[in-house]
Chains A and B, each alone.
Chain A
């Protein structure tokens, strides 16, 4: 198992190579461009045996991936932000057709205004598209989760596409030491691609993406919903098997110093590292604070999140996305996850790091202070951290 210095996009390119992906249609977009670059290099050097399709748009990239997956081979692509937005209608087609495609996303802000930096709005906006969603904290996770994504997507009880998000630049362009698994181990972990769904075959003609009447559409949507429910245990099994094979442990949510924590931070993606460091510092000062990292956002780990946060007094959710008119997505869904519970902690939302704004230790300390004060009395539900209130007031009147 060689250690290599890899950027996030190279991590996912090596994952594609190790998964023996056969077709890679891709259209470059910052910050994902390095993925098609690296993959075409690996193919040109004879290190990887795959068909690289330089298509004319992201819409075509995913459409071609569907065509490739419909022949029964592994297909993968990568995109970000506007590219993912352009794929919007094809995302629903891929999941509706139950094609186990894997896609690496460089999580980037959506226009307007144009911004190429880290933000999870692009994939969060596609949370209803029927794709499984993983989020990496490091480049090692980006590689591992891409392999795991294939394992889950191709499971015969799931057969759904999966996207693996990594924050723009912080992961996509930053070099980190990555343990690149041996081909033999990955072959054993993933196995040869099974043909466990109808595929394009001139001997056995079939119709894909058929027209469906109201009599059946809803049942097919329901079966897709059930498949996503099945994905919950399949993901757990894939994580367990991965740990057995490669020694690295994953879970849908993972806690850090949560046992006696009165305030728990919830994060997703690369900003978790800084949060962990902040928790460590605050613990040294005797503060009862913990951290929960979300690795799988779809299917949403309801039960796991409730069970790990239920004993806290305050849960401070960090959302690197926002739904104007409500708040952040993780906050919304965590609050909803407590629906069946008799008592719940106070849950606060912190909108942070949009469009590449750095999320620093001092920002997390501010989050902690607000959360700690919210144990009693009144509290503000949605909190924007590190924004220029005065400047916004000047353009919008009042806040």
Chain B
């Protein structure tokens, strides 16, 4: 995002352009081989920084789930609150310290 004089914003919707990923201390990492694609993390993410994507190209816990959508974390906006890590019923999300 470019800056403006006096930080005046003349186009609406700028919040979506302001990436907040730099706030993160811990990074949630989904281990798809354990993910049952229940979308509980997607539901709970307050940002929301978890997107629903087509799942055919992702590793899968059970081949029957291959047609189901998968949760994908958008690290440009994930602030690392860890709610998804806490809610995941199969403990498929690791929480690793950011190395910057």
Q: Decide: B5 and A197 in contact? CB cutoff 8 A.
A: yes
Chain B, interface residues (CB within 8 Å), range: 10 to 19
Q: Decide: A209 and B7 in contact? CB cutoff 8 A.
A: yes
User: What residues of chain B have their CB less than 8 Å away from a CB belonging to chain A?
Assistant: 1, 3-10, 12, 14, 18-20, 22
Given contacts A215-B22, A216-B1, A205 and B6 within 8 Å (CB-CB) = no
Chain B residues, CB < 8 A from A219: 3
Chain B residues, CB < 8 A from A214: 22
Q: Decide: A206 and B8 in contact? CB cutoff 8 A.
A: yes
Sample of 16 further A-B pairs with CB below 8 A, known A159-B5, A159-B6, A223-B5: A96-B6, A97-B6, A98-B6, A197-B6, A198-B8, A206-B8, A206-B10, A207-B9, A207-B14, A208-B6, A210-B7, A214-B22, A216-B3, A219-B3, A223-B3, A227-B5
Main secondary structure of the interface of B (DSSP, over half): loop
Q: Decide: B10 and A198 in contact? CB cutoff 8 A.
A: yes
Main secondary structure of the interface of A (DSSP, over half): loop
Q: Decide: B18 and A220 in contact? CB cutoff 8 A.
A: no
Which of B1, B8, B19 lies in contact with A207, CB distance below 8 A?
Answer: B8
Residue of B nearest to A211 (CB): B7
Could you tell me which residues of chain A, from 203 to 261, have a CB within 8 Å of some CB in chain B? 204-210, 212-216, 219-220, 223, 227
**Interface-centre pick from B3, B7, B18 (highest chain A CB count, 10 A):** B7
Chain A residues, CB < 8 A from B8: 97-98, 197-198, 206-208, 210
Chain A residues, CB < 8 A from B1: 216
In the assembled complex, the Cα of A214 lies from the Cα of B3 at a distance in Å of 12
Chain B residues, CB < 8 A from A213: 18, 20
Q: Decide: A96 and B7 in contact? CB cutoff 8 A.
A: yes
A177 nearest CB across to chain B (Å): 40
